[in-house]
Amino acid sequence: MKRVLEHAVRWLLTASGFVTSAVILLIIGFLFTEGAGLFREHVIEEGYVLALNRDNPVKEMSAAEIKAVFDEDIVSWKDLGWKDIPVETFRLEDIGRYFTEAELGPQYEHAGSAIAGLVSSHPGMIAFVPESMIPQEAGLNFIEDSTISFSEVIAGPEWFPTATPAPLFGMWPLLAGTLWVSLFAILIALPFGISIAVYMAEVASEKVRNFLKPVIELLNGIPSVVYGFFGLIVIVPMLQRVFGLPVGESGLAGSLVLAIMALPTIVTVAEDAMRNCPRSLREASLALGATKWQTISKVVIPSSMSGIASGVVLGIGRAVGETMAVLMVTGNAAVVPTTILEPLRTIPATIAAELGEAPAGGAHYQSLFLLGVILFFITFFINLCVEFISSRGKVRNS
């Protein structure tokens, strides 16, 4: 009976491990599949075309150029490779400016031919209209609708997934914002975290250590939205007053909040690593005439460096993957930051803010899954760094 029970328990453990691994692989596969779907989408909105006059030789335009044309940032076809003719844009909502209801017909049955005639009579016009409205015999030229390219997505400087006629999925501002705010968070948290860890491991009395350790570990259990409220009420107004900013929501506010959130991880792991330093090393250092602080700086910290580095990297992982707190205090401006005092937006905050509004299966929806893939690779790299550092520490101590 005992042997049967042992086999049953072993089978259950094996089955649960297999199911868990399979579910994780399915989730990762789903994430990659949805994200890769973005590169099968077309630049121009589905079901629409960009129609040009038959004399216009322009065949290709990037999504950024299309947006610039319809935003009137590009006003001459000379900038797009043709002669110096003013650009005229036409959207379907502009139809009332050019035609009467009688010309369009009671059911708008003449709208397509009317628009085709309008484009034919205006050499510099570009019309964004449904493909089904343009008659096949209209004799117009059309901008070639290519698929979204990898370079435009990864290195694109602008994130505007709801733009028409061509949405922009440039993820560089979001990636830069994520790395920027995480970098400064670690630069702020690292000296404080290591200092607190040294104090708790080497200086504080047993009574003080037993009081501080659970308090610091308790900080890990505070919901991130609470940190966000704290940052919004305390840190944001403080930065606005100190630096004279028009708004306090900035990358620095996000970095300070993330630094506070990363501190418990850094302190806990680093303090445990220092406490595990062999007592013989301390005693040997003191016996050779070293002071207590020399022993800490020359013996304890170097021998615990792998554990300290693991805590730092885990703190970076906490900062990179944080959502709500960053969403509340960074200003959510999808621009490439040049200073830490500017508003910015991170990848997790973008996914949290936009996923509920993105139509399922559309390009916007798929682009958010692709952001999830990028975040997966960042956290995967961080985990690899932790494993590498830990393995080096084990080899050194063996």
- Give per-residue pLDDT as tens, 215-228: 888 888 888 889 99
Kindly report which listed range (123-127, 171-175, 206-210) carries the lowest average pLDDT score: 206-210
Instruction: Give 51's strand partners.
Output: 127, 142
Is the confidence at residue 397, as pLDDT, over 70? no
48-52 vs 141-142, strand pairing mode: antiparallel
Give tens-digit pLDDT for 79-123: 998 999 999 999 999 998 999 888 888 888 889 999 999 999 999
Give the per-residue pLDDT at 398.
55
- Burial level of 4, CB count in 10 A (0-12/13-18/19+)? exposed
Cα–Cα distance, 24 to 18 (Å, whole number): 10
Over residues 261-286, mean pLDDT: 87
Cα–Cα distance, 36 to 111 (Å, whole number): 38
pTM here is: 0.86
Give the per-residue pLDDT at 321.
82
Give the per-residue pLDDT at 169.
94
Give tens-digit pLDDT for 314-364: 888 877 888 888 989 999 899 998 899 999 999 999 998 898 889 888 899
Q: Using the structure block, give the residue that is written with the tokens 């936009």.
A: 354
Q: How far from 136 is each of 49, 54, 116, 131, 142, CA to CA, in Å?
A: 13, 13, 10, 10, 12
Q: Do residues 171 and 374 make contact, with C-beta atoms less than 8 angstroms apart? A: yes
With H, G, I as helix, E, B as strand and everything else as coil, classify residue 293.
Answer: helix
Neighbouring C-beta atoms of residue 304, cutoff 10 Å: 23
Q: How far from 231 is each of 23, 227, 397, CA to CA, in Å?
A: 36, 6, 41
Cα–Cα distance, 185 to 254 (Å, whole number): 8
Kindly report which listed range (34-43, 65-74, 116-125, 376-385) carries the lowest average pLDDT score: 376-385
Kindly report which listed range (2-11, 42-51, 355-364) carries the lowest average pLDDT score: 2-11
Question: What tokens were used for 94?
Answer: 């502009």
Neighbouring C-beta atoms of residue 103, cutoff 10 Å: 13
Q: How far from 265 is each of 213, 345, 378, CA to CA, in Å?
A: 12, 24, 19
Q: Using the structure block, give the residue that is written with the tokens 């969403």.
A: 327
333, 290, 335, 314: which is closest to 386 by C-alpha?
314
Q: What domains are there in the chain, each with its CATH number?
A: 48-148 (3.40.190.10), 172-397 (1.10.3720.10)
38, 70, 44, 40: which is closest to 358 by C-alpha?
38
Cα–Cα distance, 272 to 367 (Å, whole number): 41
Backbone torsion region of residue 296, taken as left when φ is above 0, otherwise alpha when ψ lies between -120 and 50, otherwise beta: alpha
What stretch of H or E contains 206?
helix 206-219
Q: Do residues 76 and 86 make contact, with C-beta atoms less than 8 angstroms apart? A: yes
Q: Do residues 198 and 274 make contact, with C-beta atoms less than 8 angstroms apart? A: yes
Neighbouring C-beta atoms of residue 293, cutoff 10 Å: 11
Q: Do residues 348 and 323 make contact, with C-beta atoms less than 8 angstroms apart? A: yes
Cα–Cα distance, 255 to 184 (Å, whole number): 6
Is the confidence at residue 69, as pLDDT, over 90? yes
Instruction: Give 48's strand partners.
Output: 130
DSSP 55: T
With H, G, I as helix, E, B as strand and everything else as coil, classify residue 129.
Answer: strand
Question: What tokens were used for 66?
Answer: 């299309």
Give tens-digit pLDDT for 226-256: 999 999 999 999 999 999 988 889 999 999 9
